[in-house]
Amino acid sequence: MKKGTMIEGLYREVYGHYEGDYRINELEIYLTTDRYFEKYVLLTNEGIYELWAGGFRLTERTDLNDCVQEERFGDLTGWMVDTVKAVPDTSLQILFNNGATFEIGLCPAYNKYNHPERYLMLRN
């Protein structure tokens, strides 16, 4: 992700949310995957980026039909990336040209299934 990349949307892919299947066994997901319940993806003018605590990658493997738009942070459409800071296995910060910072990282405590929890935050 480079300076000037334009955001077109933030989405989350929910495990079990495929072809209308909303039956999700949360315990099974936690015990059988190495990441938290949801995967976050950023739609940009460059393509789709998978985001995680500590990194990101441009991907063609994510189908936005399996995702729902993340609405907790309002509409990020049109925001432009200024700087990206990644601390491996810890946090990812995307700084925008309007002064806001989006961060995804790991909480210090593990969840009840002994997996690390992720947090998402938008600071203006």
Question: Measuring CA to CA, which residue among 37, 39, 17, 38 is closest to residue 27?
Answer: 37
15 vs 113, higher pLDDT:
113
Report the distance separating Cα 107 and Cα 90, nearest Å: 9
Round the average pLDDT of the chain to a whole number and report it.
Answer: 81
Q: Are 40 and 120 in contact (CB under 8 A)?
A: yes
Q: Which helix (H) or strand (E) holds 31?
A: helix 26-32
Q: pLDDT at position 7, please?
A: 97
Residue 26 scores a pLDDT above 60: no
**How sure is the predictor about 20, in pLDDT bands with cuts at 50, 70 and 90?**
very low
Mean pLDDT of 117-121: 82
Annotated domain spans of the chain: 7-123
Mean pLDDT of 9-13: 88
